[in-house]
Structure 1
Amino acid sequence: MTLLNDPDHVKIKTEKDSWNFGKASDQMLKNKERIDIEKNENYIELGERNQAKETNIDARLKPRKSLKAKLEELPPLPRSSNCYIYRVPQRLCQENEKAYAPQVVSIDPLHHGKQHLKSMEKEKQRYLKEFLERTGAKLEDLLNLITEKEQQLRSCYAEEIEFDREEFVEMILVDAMFIIEVLLRSQFRDLQNQEDHIFEKPFFIQDIWYEIWLLENQIPFFILQDIFNLETISELVKNWKPIIELTYEFFKSLEAVNGKLKKFENNNVEVKHFTDFIRTCHPPLVKSAPRPKKRKVVTAPSVIQLNQAGAKFKKSESNESFDITFTKGNLEIPQLKLHLETESLFRNLIAFEQHHYVDNYINNYVFIINHLCNTSKDVELLVQEKIIENWLPDKKCRFFRVQLAKRKKGFRA
């Protein structure tokens, strides 16, 4: 039996009530804090809503530019004949975007300032500084040259360049001098030094070599020539090779370039940029026959189909990529060497050609090769005949399955 007036019972009950009261007080405090937080959040949300509402009101009250005003403010388009540096269309780059965009160094305004390329800016500036110190050339002379050519340089790009004059001139100068130094140091090893972060790391210069033929990573070739012809520099470089020969030496490890310097001996050949230089090395010296007025849709047979029909395959001794002949059942094809850079190179050449040239030599060549090599067995047969030399690590010849020359609405022959 429990006594109500038992002191111990009262004490126990009092302690229990105190504990419950303390627990309830803590809970009330937490609830109050939660309510205060919710109130603050509501105030903040209400403030943001009011601010957004005021912004919308300001936007509505602010007079909008009329279509007429927008049309009047449009900058004049450069002449199409002056444009030759383009952004690759989405229909081409969606299959392999990295084949077109620089990953190490930017040499143009289209990718300048991107975060993953900023680390190279100091290296480019260092190359400019070392050129000035080594040659005694004046920075002011170079800046004045680029400034004088600013509008001509801007007109070479198919899209408007939004950098202001100072930014644009500085960027072109740093990039142009970096290219010139790379060409010089690759040709004259004594210009390299132990502190050279590019040439002292073989894979680094190889990465740069891959990237300065990308269509979206170009500066006009004429500005490199103008720098070489500058009065204060021409005397310094008279013992060096002309810029076109330095370019040839830099790229001659490419099969299509090696032995093709004579194509540039004619002053009528105007090199627009490095992508154009490599493309110029591909077409045959002899002009092709005029296009027929009527076109026929032709289904090209594969290597295996031709072989089953009795055709024989032979590696041509010609060093012209397009010198493909079929006579008396014999198909002769110049050797094609497949390296890691082959796909990227052809993709960029095709993108440039489709933008700029009526004669689609590269497109036609890749179209023919793609149709001949329809399956892995087609490729294997050409490898056996030494027409294809495959240096790709996976040996799958992905190059032949990308269908580079196809357009959305068919191939333009």
Structure 2
Amino acid sequence: MDARKHEHEDYDVSIDVEKLADSLSGELESLHPLARGCSIYRVSEAPRCSHPSHFTPRIVSVGPFHHGKEELKAMEEHKKRYLKCFLQRTKVRTASFLGFIKAREAELRNCYAETIHLGSDEFIKMVLVDAVFLIELFLEYYQPNLRTDEDPILGKSFFHVDVKLEILLLENQLPLFIPNDLFNLAKTATFETNLYEEISFRTITCFWFRKEIASYLPIQENLLEINFSRAKHFVDLLILCLQPSQSRAVIALKDVIIPSVKELHQAGVKFKRGSSKNLLDIKFNEGILEIPFLTVYDSTERLYRNVLAFERMHCYTKYLNDYILMMNYLVSTSKDAELLLQNEIIGLGDTEAVPTVFRNLDKECIIDYSAFEYSGIIANLQAYCKLPWHKWKATLKQNYFNTPWASISVIAAVILLLLTSIQTVCSLIGL
């Protein structure tokens, strides 16, 4: 029989298969539409399996991804205490806040890159509690007189350290517009009119970031305020503030061979603490490599890993990705870190920690040889190191003029050699 006839044959379809077809059709109809504006992602399995604790909150959930988990319920009661304090300062009714969120529910859900399986009522209540938690945390940090003695977060510094890093996890985000708008709504009718005078959610958020996060991830002055209105959430705010201050020359590379700090030092390169507070503003000019000041803490790797994951998943230019690759090459050993410590470029006594952090982070990075951010600097460093004069001068300085006594000894030896030569010449002339 001709095989083409089978293409048009009708097959007997049982009732069970009809039901299955209807069920599948229903699932297709109920698919969550892909939102172009989504900006909050669940981290992919590969990095999560390697470092699950770096992406998963242990104390507090913000947003729907980890909402309701048993191990995070202890903080839920305190979040509601924050909500109670917030509502006591305003004449705006609770129902008005909930209605305000209800009107934006679709927009809020579309900010997440996957379907949120929470009913409407539970979702709206969760958003209100979590958004006000952020508002109150920043407000009480900004105005300490609002704190209560029972506050387990701001009243206990070790607890605050854990919480502040968890609200910067990529999976622990709320769209930034919702706490901002709820704060503005509360300001329209407060019992204490002077309390919110000249204060905005931007004011208290940027204040908190400058005081608590700038040491982990240095940020240029005023960039938090400048980028606040553009940011989708807190991790996005950090990414926007890390954009380089000026464009760099980018050239195609066949491979990336970056000398280490020790090798550059031996080749005569000098190191200077960068004047820019932007962590990514590495510069090389006239034999001087400028690297912005960096401090590495126990939690640095966790924070960087979340910012890096968002940069990749949101398809931003790979600025942080390339910075981590660059630093991993430069600071590959504790000796490299020690040289940076001596030049006041890193603020850490444990020189083993810096190369370890960048080595661990490097595993999550991808290099693009055609568009590596620091390709121009690499080319200039390689060219500088190839000139023998630079290495000879560095060797002379490092081996023979590294201390005042060594310098005096070399000078004395040269003078002695000159006097000996003169004496020899005079003796020959006398003959």
Pairwise TM-score range, normalised by the shorter structure: 0.7 to 0.9
The match for 1:149 is: 104
**C-alpha separation in 1, matches of 2:316 and 2:159:** 36
1:260: which partner in 2?
A: 221
Residue-by-residue CA offset, 1:28-63 (whole Å, 9 max, x unaligned) = xxxxxxxxxxxxxxxxxxxxxxxxxxxxxxxx8994
1:277 equivalenced with 2:237 (yes/no): yes
State the secondary structure of the residue aligned to 2:295: strand
Paired residue for 1:303, among 253, 261, 266?
A: 261
Query: In the alignment, is the contact (CA less than 8 A) between 2:218 and 2:279 conserved in 1?
Result: no
CA distance in 2, matches of 1:227, 1:391: 44
Quote the Cα distance in structure 2 between the aligned partners of 1:87 and 1:196. Answer: 31
Q: Post-superposition shift, 1:281?
A: 2.0
Corresponding residue for 1:233? 187
Given the superposition, is the C-alpha separation of residues 304 and 95 from structure 1 closer, same or farther in structure 2, using an over 3 Å criterion? farther
**Aligned: 1:388 with 2:346:** yes
Give 1:402's aligned amino acid. N
In 1, distance between residues paired with 2:349 and 2:131? Answer: 33
| Residue aligning to 1:101 | 56
Shift of 1:408: 7.0
| Partners of 1:228 and 1:234 within 8 A in 2 | no
Quickly say closer, same or farther: Cα 1:258–1:76, change in 2 above 3 A: closer
Taking the TM superposition and a 5 Å limit, the aligned residue runs for 1:3-152 are 63-65=19-21, 69=25, 72-80=28-36, 82-152=37-107
1:375 maps onto 2:333 in alignment: yes
Q: Partners of 2:166 and 2:350 in 1: how far apart?
A: 19
Query: Are 1:403 and 2:361 an aligned pair?
Result: yes
Distance 1:396 1:271, change over 3 A: closer
Q: Which secondary structure state, in structure 1, belongs to the residue aligned with residue 57 of structure 2?
A: coil
* Deviations 1:106-147, CA, capped at 9 Å, x for gaps: 001111111110111111111101211233331111100111
How far apart in 1 are the matches of 2:321 and 2:125? Answer: 36
Q: Which residue pairs with 2:389 in the alignment?
A: none
Shift of 1:405: 6.2
Is structure 2 residue 164 aligned with structure 1 residue 209? yes
CA distance 1:240–1:125, change in 2 (3 Å): farther
1:159 matched to 2:114: yes
2:298 matched to 1:340? yes
Q: Within 1, Cα distance between the matches of 2:45 and 2:156?
A: 34
- From the CA coordinates, give the structure whose radius of gyration is larger: 1
Q: For structure 2, which runs of at least 5 residues remain unmatched after alignment? A: 1-15, 373-431
CA contact (8 A) 1:390 1:397 kept: no
Alpha-carbon separation, structure 2, partners of 1:271 and 1:398:
31
Structure 1 position 386, deviation (Å): 1.6
Task: Rate the CA distance shift 1:396–1:274 in 2: closer, same or farther, 3 A.
Answer: closer
Q: TM-score of the superposition, structure 1-length normalised?
A: 0.77
Q: Aligned partner of 2:187: which letter?
A: I
Q: Deviations over 1:151-182 (max 9, x none)?
A: 00000000110001011001011000111000
Offset of residue 258 of structure 1: 5.3
Give me the whole-angstrom Cα distance separating, in 2, the residues matched to 1:155 and 1:250.
28
| Correspondence for 2:271 | 313
Counterpart for residue 17 of structure 1: none
In the TM superposition, what whole-angstrom CA distance separates every residue of 1:385-409 from its partner, at most 9, and x where no partner exists? 2211126697565212203364479
CA gap 1:326/1:263 in 2 versus in 1, 3 angstroms: same
The range that moved more, 185-194 or 334-343, is 334-343
**What secondary structure sits across from 2:256 in the alignment?**
coil
Contact 2:338/2:351 (8 A) holds in 1? no
C-alpha distance 115-404 of structure 1, shift in aligned 2 (>3 A): farther
User: AA paired with 1:234?
Assistant: T
Structure 1 spans left out of the alignment, 5+ residues = 1-59
**Identity in percent:** 37
Q: For the aligned residues, what is the CA RMSD?
A: 2.7
Structure 2 CA distance for partners of 1:367 and 1:127, relative to 1, 3 Å: same
8 Å CA contact 1:143, 1:173 repeated in 2: yes
Partner Cα distance (1:276, 1:388) in 2: 25
Q: Which amino acid aligns with 1:128?
A: L
Kept in 2: contact 1:336–1:388 (CA 8 A): yes
The answer to whether the 8 Å contact 1:142/1:173 transfers is yes
C-alpha separation between the residues in 1 aligned to 2:138 and 2:334? Answer: 39
Q: 1:235 to 1:387 in 2, by over 3 A?
A: same
Tell me the alpha carbon deviations over residues 273-300 of structure 1, each in whole angstroms, 9 at most, x when there is no partner: 11111222222333x25866x5543222
